[in-house]
Chains A and B, each alone.
Chain A
Amino acid sequence: MMSKPENIQIDTSPPVSDEVRKTTCYMCACRCGINVHMKDGKVAYIEGNRDHPVNKGVLCGKGSSGIMQHYAPSRLRAPLKRVGPRGSGEFEEISWDEALEMAVGWMGPLRNEDPSKLAFFTGRDQSQSFTSWFAQSYGTPNYAAHGGFCSVNMAAAGIYTMGGAFWEFGQPDWDRTKLFMLFGVAEDHDSNPIKIGLGKLKERGARVIGVNPIRSGYNAIADEWVGITPGTDGLFILALVHELFRAGQVDLNYLSRYTNAGFIVNEEPNTAETGLFLRGNTGKPQVICRATGKLADYDTPGVMPDLAATYRHAGQSHRPVFQLMAERYLSDEYAPEAVADRTGISADKIRSIAAELARVAFEEEIVLDQPWTDWKGEKHDKMIGRPVSFHAMRGISAHSNGFQTCRALHVLQILLGSVEVPGGFRFKPPYPKPVEAHPVPHVGVTPGQPLNGPHLGFVRGPEHLALKEDGSAARIDKAFTWENPMSSHGLMHMVISNAHAGDPYKIDTLFLYMANMAWNSSMNSSEVMRMLTDKDENGDYVIPHIIYSDAYSSEMVAYADLILPDTTYLERHDCISLLDRPICEADGAADAIRWPVVEPDRDVRGFQTVLIQLGVKMGLPGFVNEDGSAKYEDYADYIVNHERRPGVGPLAGWRGEDGNGKGRGEPNPAQLDKYIENGGFWVNHVPENASFYKPWNKHYQEWAVKRGIFDVESPYVFSLYVEPMRKFQLAAEGFGDRQPPDNLRDRIGHTMDPLPIWYEPFEEGNVDTDEYPIHALTQRPMHMYHSWGTQNAWLRQITGKNYLYLPTKIWEEHGFEDGDFATVSSVHGQITVPVAHHAGLNGSTIWTWNAIGKRKGAWALDEDAPEATDGFLLNHLISELQPPKGDGLRWSNSDPITGQAAWFDLRVKIERCETKPAESQPAYPPIKSPVGKGPKTVARKI
């Protein structure tokens, strides 16, 4: 027997892989660069790509477990035709030929009768510039992606206010900011960049303030936690604004030069011009020159507007925007004391935060010795920075007062002079981009013809609403109507409900991509399941045809008639395009691709390629040549050869015959190879003198035109005051040709305020808050994304069931103990679910991890998987409609400006369950898995 084992030799330099293939992650919407290590032609290991602009080598919990998504047993294998009733999960596999014929058999005739009978909505789509182009060519007005139930409030408020918002639009200057204020749940978007950024702040010891009812995730590392009451962020922000105004701690130079603070507003009551800007002969808004006291176009070189002036013109009184703001925000209604109870934040704390914002912005000013020239030609020898920055996404957006709250936050940043300056918030190309550079919505339908323009856009006034002659909604989701005039991302959450109700009209075919509407992507999932399976008096489904494309056996699959199976993200071509939702950084324009690092081992096709094939079969303009032959063989061909404008295509890198074109140039057949060679992405850096002040920076504007971001320089000033909103108010007051229905006049008049306001979320007025005293929220765990995490054998071990987290107050009041269940009710529904205690929680708020709960039979899980027995959704408590008001109208549970789903307005009551149920309620019968079950044991070493 050896008593002394020989010295152990281990190989510390084993070969890592045969080959590394660099592509783009799709474990969430963040789009990081990944190195896919291949062994024996198989995917073996995935890590972050160090050179990539988004993640710089790091990778989150999702990205690092992408391999298990790639090998997931829930992957669909072939096109499926429904053979059982909807919702049963009974399918038979069919060929692609049959599948495409079936789809064209439904969609083709519709196009010639009435294209609006097709509703095409894409969920977590990263190819919207392509899918929208398909829909436009088809001719239906009914297209949008999922922004309407995600964060359109943030995006639209940002565009209308300053030409961009957070995440894809811009980022804090992580390298210089000294105070970072984070509002609401932010872990679900821009995942790695924010984590990298927070890491940088922590390394420098910069202060982080987290404003969130829940102290988890990023808020756990915040130096200061503000456990705000849900839905009151706007009130809190305006209280900060109140304090800043009272103390004169606003950046007057910045406001004068770069915003519409000096624009003169007509204050004469009750005219068609009331509240509009005074415009000169050129149509440009007027300011009063501080030096001369005379009117001038706002962009006249050398003119500094006088924010303190008043002006009478043609007998009507006018004041600059800034004075209107001062008057409003100095009001006692925004005093810290007045908002403390409501927000759950003490007056002292509000004052202290306001003071800290002002202190850092103005006393810790950053000066970069970087000369630059503004758009008026004025030269500046320095770049002055206000090192205060902010970030917010869904947390403050998903309320019925979300748009105004997001506006308030953007305005706060601007008042501090911290947007597009060193240390503040920085835009990422193609942003900044003013409203004027965006399209307006188009709904011009002609049978057999393309739509008359892009579906989505930014309305400038009532004239751009998507209304039919009779005033009814032109779109199935009622986007761009008086109910929600600025619904720039559409209202995907209303599509099924409206189609089922035949309001505004009935549709024939519902075509969905990557949107789990029969489960976690809908408000009130049970009701949506009912609508999808509901039949009319003839025994036909109310929504006659449903086509769905997904890569996995999600809950929605069971509710479709035809399944077009997509590939996994490692098996497909994609482009993360500057025309779409790009991956740029503040210092550069960037785009990226996905490419098949492995070929699918199943009979599946990338969805975009399938759309091209459908387009060809239907002979859609843009998809076929004059002789009817296919213009693009597949999506890869489209990516390389499509030109949206001459010389500008989906990918900006390596354009032109010689491959040297940056942003502009002819299609280059070798373009994809160049991307692959470069690690799957392209970056072109902004010149140093164009790094900041981008909306007003001559160097940036010139660079942006060269890169094809704009065709002409598009400088603009920020809109503290959003004049288009005022135009809707004017309509509500009775001015103009297009008039809202009377029942909406008050609401429009109140909510479409051109300066940020705060109002109570609608739920507060709709339910008895004494009976339903508790706010209920959801957030997504950082290591999971929507439903996808569940099919991932690694991630589901981390979070395979969810609890309803209760604050200490509620926990103790009801005598809860570990292992207990609670019944939670809203006016819409009831759930019975397991609970746990969370002390770091606003005392009137409960929450859970989103989309852990699963339908039995979905995702190739066993029917007794914890996700299906203990796991639950809060969605059952939320409705896409507000409770009936007795007026016979369907009031959507959305922001009245953008239509964003008001997920986070939810009010509930809670009771402890005396007897523990066998499983969380409601429980649904299993659906038959179209892909069978996953293996028992996984131990995959390649």
Chain B
Amino acid sequence: MHPAPSVIIFTTFSGLGFGLLAWLGFGIPDVGGTTLFAFFFIAYALAVGGLLSSTLHLANKKNALYAFSQWRTSWLSREGVAAVVTLLLFGLIALARIFLGAEMTFSGAVGSILALITIFTTSMIYTQLKTISRWNQPLTPVLFMLHAIGGGALLAGEAKIAGVLLAALAVVMWLHWQQGDARAANRGTLGDATGLGHLGEVRMFESGHTGGNYVLDEMVYRVGRKHAQKLRMIALGLGAVLPAAILLLTPAGHVTAFIALALHVVGTLVGRWLFFAEAEHVVGLYYGK
């Protein structure tokens, strides 16, 4: 799949934002006033920024409002609805907590669950696609959730929790790749895709077009295997292993937390790029890819 920057930024940063909101809803960290304002500001900036970035991916923004209409069937619509509801609710919670000093325990918990749901819906946009077997696995939502709440914990200053979650993330990332590789390997052959397998080994003789098209640009993008391996190590190292190690093995501190966060964000961006770039869409078979 084409690793579109808008979507990479969207999933990375709105994930972090909603991850942070999920912690804030549960009252973690236990802060108030301007500090809390700062946390909420960061969370909103990330979540809203990410969402806005996602709209850059839309070729026809003028109809964007309709995207909230199909929540009963569409994960993308659900994501939109969940994000908006979550953000609206957290708006009230934030106002109440920052300015009224209210506890908002119950609604905070509701908000957190909604934030988690939002992250889940985001992940399901990709997980649901049977056409991309690498994504179509139970670990995909787990991967997204761990990214979000791990990164969120890091943002929330919960170093040890974040360390544990990012360590878990490291494991899930690795497993997701293993599973993904296995699934991609079983994606089928051109013989399966064309239904001509009974005639022998099928190969593409001529594509339907030597010129480009949307399908090729969007869905038949693939990163080289060697390159991908390198990037996997970078994503795993920077996104999970190193920050987890720093958080768990070094004394807590703003500097280490910031380093861990920076590494995590860079690692996540690389990982997300790879998430798309490595994903083999089944339509590639028809192009002999």
Residues in chain A within 8 A of chain B (CB atoms): 1-5, 216, 796-801, 837-840, 866
Given contacts A1-B68, A4-B69, A5-B66, contact A800 B210 (CB under 8 A): yes
Q: In the complex, which residues of chain A have a beta carbon less than 8 angstroms from the beta carbon of B208? A: 798
Q: In the complex, which residues of chain A have a beta carbon less than 8 angstroms from the beta carbon of B213? A: 797
Q: Is the CB of B210 within 8 A of A3?
A: no
Interface residues in B59-104 by Cβ distance below 8 A to A read 65-66, 68-72
Q: Is the CB of A797 within 8 A of B210?
A: yes
CA distance A839 to B200 in the complex (A): 12
Q: Is the CB of B211 within 8 A of A2?
A: no
Partner of B210, one of A1, A216, A801, A837: A801
Q: In the complex, which residues of chain A have a beta carbon less than 8 angstroms from the beta carbon of B68? A: 1
Interface residues in B208-236 by Cβ distance below 8 A to A read 208-211, 213
Q: Is the CB of B210 within 8 A of A839?
A: no
**Does B106 belong to the interface (CB within 8 Å)?**
no
Q: In the complex, which residues of chain B have a beta carbon less than 8 angstroms from the beta carbon of A866? A: 210
B200 CB, nearest partner CB in chain A, Å: 10
Partner of A1, one of B69, B72, B203, B211: B69
Q: In the complex, which residues of chain B have a beta carbon less than 8 angstroms from the beta carbon of A840? A: 205
Residues of B within 8 A of A (CB-CB), count: 14
Q: Is the CB of A799 within 8 A of B205?
A: no
Q: Is the CB of B72 within 8 A of A3?
A: yes
Q: Whose C-beta in chain A lies nearest to the C-beta of B70? A: A3
CA distance A3 to B80 in the complex (A): 13
Q: Is the CB of A3 within 8 A of B71?
A: yes
Q: In the complex, which residues of chain A have a beta carbon less than 8 angstroms from the beta carbon of B210? A: 797-801, 866
CA distance A799 to B209 in the complex (A): 6
CA distance A235 to B208 in the complex (A): 37
Q: In the complex, which residues of chain A have a beta carbon less than 8 angstroms from the beta carbon of B203? A: 837, 839
CA distance A866 to B212 in the complex (A): 12
CA distance A763 to B70 in the complex (A): 70
Partner of B69, one of A5, A216, A838, A839: A5
CA distance A837 to B206 in the complex (A): 10
CA distance A2 to B209 in the complex (A): 40
Q: Is the CB of A798 within 8 A of B209?
A: yes
CA distance A837 to B65 in the complex (A): 49
Q: In the complex, which residues of chain B have a beta carbon less than 8 angstroms from the beta carbon of A797? A: 209-211, 213
Q: Is the CB of B205 within 8 A of A838?
A: yes
Q: Is the CB of B211 within 8 A of A800?
A: yes
What 5 additional pairs, Cβ within 8 angstroms, besides A837-B203, A839-B203? A3-B69, A3-B70, A5-B69, A840-B205, A866-B210
Q: Is the CB of A2 within 8 A of B205?
A: no
CA distance A216 to B208 in the complex (A): 14
Interface residues in B21-78 by Cβ distance below 8 A to A read 65-66, 68-72
CA distance A796 to B209 in the complex (A): 8
Q: In the complex, which residues of chain B have a beta carbon less than 8 angstroms from the beta carbon of A2? A: 66, 69
Q: In the complex, which residues of chain B have a beta carbon less than 8 angstroms from the beta carbon of A4? A: 69
Please give me the 7 A-B residue pairs with the lowest Cβ-Cβ distance, nearest first: A797-B211, A800-B210, A1-B68, A801-B210, A2-B69, A797-B209, A800-B211
Q: In the complex, which residues of chain B have a beta carbon less than 8 angstroms from the beta carbon of A799? A: 210
CA distance A216 to B68 in the complex (A): 50
A575 CB, nearest partner CB in chain B, Å: 37
Q: In the complex, which residues of chain B have a beta carbon less than 8 angstroms from the beta carbon of A801? A: 210
CA distance A525 to B69 in the complex (A): 62
CA distance A4 to B73 in the complex (A): 11
CA distance A837 to B72 in the complex (A): 49
Q: Is the CB of A1 within 8 A of B65?
A: yes
Can you list 18 A-B contacts (CB < 8 A)?
Answer: A2-B66, A2-B69, A3-B70, A3-B71, A5-B66, A216-B205, A796-B211, A797-B209, A797-B211, A798-B208, A798-B210, A798-B211, A799-B210, A800-B210, A838-B205, A839-B205, A840-B205, A866-B210
B221 CB, nearest partner CB in chain A, Å: 17
Q: Whose C-beta in chain B lies nearest to the C-beta of A4? A: B69
> CB-CB contacts of B273-285 with A at 8 A, as 1s and 0s?
0000000000000
> CB-CB contacts of B187-209 with A at 8 A, as 1s and 0s?
00000000000000001010011
Q: Whose C-beta in chain B lies nearest to the C-beta of A802? A: B210
CA distance A5 to B69 in the complex (A): 8
Q: Whose C-beta in chain B lies nearest to the C-beta of A796? A: B211
Q: Whose C-beta in chain A lies nearest to the C-beta of B200? A: A839
CA distance A148 to B280 in the complex (A): 52
CA distance A800 to B203 in the complex (A): 21
Q: Whose C-beta in chain B lies nearest to the C-beta of A800? A: B210
A234 CB, nearest partner CB in chain B, Å: 29
Q: In the complex, which residues of chain B have a beta carbon less than 8 angstroms from the beta carbon of A796? A: 211
CA distance A838 to B208 in the complex (A): 16
Q: In the complex, which residues of chain B have a beta carbon less than 8 angstroms from the beta carbon of A1? A: 65, 68-69
CA distance A29 to B19 in the complex (A): 67
CA distance A559 to B35 in the complex (A): 79
B110 CB, nearest partner CB in chain A, Å: 21
Q: Whose C-beta in chain B lies nearest to the C-beta of A1? A: B68
CA distance A796 to B212 in the complex (A): 11
Q: In the complex, which residues of chain A have a beta carbon less than 8 angstroms from the beta carbon of B72? A: 3
Q: In the complex, which residues of chain B have a beta carbon less than 8 angstroms from the beta carbon of A839? A: 203, 205
CA distance A356 to B65 in the complex (A): 68
Q: In the complex, which residues of chain A have a beta carbon less than 8 angstroms from the beta carbon of B66? A: 2, 5
CA distance A798 to B208 in the complex (A): 6
CA distance A798 to B210 in the complex (A): 6
CA distance A2 to B72 in the complex (A): 12
CA distance A797 to B212 in the complex (A): 7
Q: Whose C-beta in chain A lies nearest to the C-beta of B205? A: A838
CA distance A822 to B205 in the complex (A): 18
B134 CB, nearest partner CB in chain A, Å: 23
B205 CB, nearest partner CB in chain A, Å: 6
CA distance A19 to B205 in the complex (A): 42
A20 CB, nearest partner CB in chain B, Å: 30
A805 CB, nearest partner CB in chain B, Å: 8
A14 CB, nearest partner CB in chain B, Å: 22
A799 CB, nearest partner CB in chain B, Å: 6
CA distance A801 to B212 in the complex (A): 12
B78 CB, nearest partner CB in chain A, Å: 12
Q: In the complex, which residues of chain A have a beta carbon less than 8 angstroms from the beta carbon of B71? A: 3
Q: In the complex, which residues of chain B have a beta carbon less than 8 angstroms from the beta carbon of A838? A: 205
CA distance A797 to B68 in the complex (A): 37
CA distance A706 to B205 in the complex (A): 53
Q: Which of B69, B211, B213 has the most CB of A within 10 A?
A: B211
CA distance A11 to B211 in the complex (A): 33
Q: Whose C-beta in chain A lies nearest to the C-beta of B67? A: A1
Q: In the complex, which residues of chain B have a beta carbon less than 8 angstroms from the beta carbon of A837? A: 203
A684 CB, nearest partner CB in chain B, Å: 42
CA distance A1 to B210 in the complex (A): 43
A57 CB, nearest partner CB in chain B, Å: 24
Q: In the complex, which residues of chain B have a beta carbon less than 8 angstroms from the beta carbon of A3? A: 69-72
CA distance A800 to B206 in the complex (A): 12
> CB-CB contacts of B129-145 with A at 8 A, as 1s and 0s?
00000000000000000
CA distance A24 to B70 in the complex (A): 50
A625 CB, nearest partner CB in chain B, Å: 54
Q: In the complex, which residues of chain B have a beta carbon less than 8 angstroms from the beta carbon of A5? A: 66, 69
B178 CB, nearest partner CB in chain A, Å: 29
Q: In the complex, which residues of chain A have a beta carbon less than 8 angstroms from the beta carbon of B70? A: 3
CA distance A839 to B209 in the complex (A): 20
Q: Whose C-beta in chain B lies nearest to the C-beta of A781? A: B206
CA distance A1 to B205 in the complex (A): 49
CA distance A138 to B84 in the complex (A): 83
CA distance A800 to B213 in the complex (A): 13
Q: In the complex, which residues of chain B have a beta carbon less than 8 angstroms from the beta carbon of A798? A: 208-211
Q: Which of B210, B211, B213 has the most CB of A within 10 A?
A: B210
CA distance A622 to B72 in the complex (A): 80
A675 CB, nearest partner CB in chain B, Å: 38
CA distance A801 to B206 in the complex (A): 11
Q: Whose C-beta in chain B lies nearest to the C-beta of A220? A: B205
CA distance A798 to B66 in the complex (A): 36
CA distance A216 to B71 in the complex (A): 49
Q: Which of A796, A798, A801, A840 has the most CB of B within 10 A?
A: A798
CA distance A1 to B69 in the complex (A): 6
Q: In the complex, which residues of chain A have a beta carbon less than 8 angstroms from the beta carbon of B65? A: 1
CA distance A799 to B210 in the complex (A): 5
